[in-house]
Amino acid sequence: MYQDEELVFSCPQVVADRPTHYCPGCHHGVAHRLVGELLEEMGLVEKTIMVTAIGCSVFLYNYLLVDAVEAPHGRAPAVATGVKRAKPDKFVFTYQGDGDLASIGMAEIMHCANRGERVSVVFVNNTVYGMTGGQMAPTTLIGQKTTTCPGGRCAEREGMPIKMAEIIASLGGSAYVARTALNNVKNINKTKKCLRKAFEVQTSGLGFGFVEVLSACPTNWKMSAIKANERIANEMIPYFPLGVFKDATADVTGEAAGKGEEGK
């Protein structure tokens, strides 16, 4: 570094200095970095017990250098409940994909939120089962082709894509619920702000924090990373509106308490 310059962006120390196994343009890497930055900025690194899920992010523990336990597919919110009840003074979060959280783990996430467990959930919604090769997920959009709905998802046959943020916000125990996206710089910065809030409702003891992060899986969407980001803007966000769906820290009469503001 030169004398007349300052470092304005570098890799957080809690993020391991090693290449990831993710595909080019996969948003898991962005989500990992944001979580890592927040753990450092909020002084949580040494207090954290991370619960990893099954999906492409199963090796999260190779990239975030904190204590970790691996949960069975979909069960991370139950495992996190056990961790938090055993160690209430620790910072506990899960990091889950849409197959993991919204399909096999639907009961666990809903009841964890409803009990108001003091844990935070990072929910990466990329509308497919990435790890197993791009099968249909509960969040797959209508018309989207996957390896198990080759003709495109059809509402009559497969039902409508599930809107998790709205569901979680409707439950009594959730204290902060937002949906964000990682498709551009503005949305990435917004995602970080929302994740910070979801972490804060845990550290302040308010309740359960949840951020659904719309993310790209260029490989299984069979498109370039750049096209995948465009797809988030053009197809995902219109169906999965961005915004804050619940915020127990805000003045109840204030704007943040109601329906979230639309994002682009």
Partner 1 sequence: MSRIEIREDRCKGCLLCTTVCPKEIIKQADRFNQHGYKPAEVPAGDMKKCTGCASCATICPDVAITVYKTKKKAKKGASHG
Partner 2 sequence: MASGDKLFLKGNEAIARGALAAGCQCFFGYPITPQNDIPEYLSKALPDRGGAFVQAESEVAAANMLLGATACGVRAMTSSSSPGISLKQEAISYMAGSELPAIIVNMNRGGPGLGDIGPSQGDYFQSTRGGGHGDYRLLVLAPATCQEAYDLTRESFDLAFQYRNPVMILGDAILGQMKEPVLTAPDRPADPAEARDWSLDGAVGRGPRLLKSLFLQDGALADQNRMLQAKYEAMRAEVRWECFETEDAELVVCAYGTIARIAKSAIRKLRKKGLKVGLFRPITLYPFPSEALAKLVKPGRKFLTVEQNLGQMVEDVRLSLCGLATSEFFSIYPGNLPVPDDFDEPIARALGL
Ligand X SMILES: Cc1ncc(C[n+]2csc(CCOP(=O)(O)OP(=O)(O)O)c2C)c(N)n1
- List residues binding ligand SF4 (CB under 6 A): 22-23, 26, 28, 56, 126, 130, 217-220
23 belongs to the binding site for partner 1 (CB under 8 A): yes
> CB under 5 to 8 A by kind: which of ligand X, partner 1, ligand SF4, none does 219 bind?
ligand SF4
Distance between CA atoms of residues 25 and 33, nearest Å:
14
User: What is the C-alpha to C-alpha distance for residues 120 and 241, in angstroms, rounded to an integer?
Assistant: 21
- The strand pair at 91-97 and 243-247 is best described as unpaired
# residues contacting ligand X (CB under 6 A): 18
Residue 85 binding target from ligand SF4, ligand X, partner 2, none, CB below 5 to 8 Å by type: partner 2
Residues 49-78 that bind ligand X (CB under 6 A): 54-57, 73
Q: To which residue do tokens 């990091």 refer?
A: 95
- From the list 213, 39, 220, 74, the residue with the least C-alpha distance to 145 is 220
Residue 247 lies near ligand X (rule: CB under 6 A): no
Residue 95 as a binder of partner 1 (CB under 8 A): the answer is no
Q: How far is the CB of 210 from ligand SF4 (least distance, A)?
A: 20
Residue in 237, 222, 29 with CA at minimum distance from that of residue 128: 222
Q: Tokens 């209508």 correspond to what residue?
A: 142
For residue 204, give the DSSP letter: T
Asked if residues 72 and 28 have their Cβ atoms less than 8 Å apart, the reply is no
Shortest CB 200 distance to ligand X, Å: 26
DSSP 8-state assignment for residue 157: H
As to burial, measured by CB atoms within 10 angstroms (0-12 exposed, 13-18 middle, 19+ buried), residue 53 is buried
- Choosing from 81, 95, 98, 244, the residue that interacts with ligand X (CB under 6 A) is 98
Are the beta carbons of 70 and 58 closer than 8 angstroms? yes
The verdict on 251 binding partner 1 (CB under 8 A) reads no
Residue (of 49, 113, 53) closest to 87 by Cα position: 49
What does 113 interact with, of ligand SF4, ligand X, partner 2, none (CB < 5 to 8 A by kind)? none
Please choose which of ligand SF4, partner 2, partner 1, none residue 217 contacts, taking the beta carbon within 5 to 8 angstroms, the exact cut-off set by kind: ligand SF4
Among partner 1, ligand SF4, partner 2, none, the one that 47 touches (CB under a kind-dependent 5 to 8 A) is: partner 2
94 binds ligand X (CB under 6 A): no
Q: Are 70 and 50 in contact (CB under 8 A)?
A: no
Q: Which is nearer to partner 1, 30 or 71 (CB)?
A: 30
Could you list the residues that contact partner 2 (CB under 8 A)?
Answer: 45-49, 51-52, 58, 61, 65-72, 75, 78-87, 90-91, 107-108, 110-111, 115
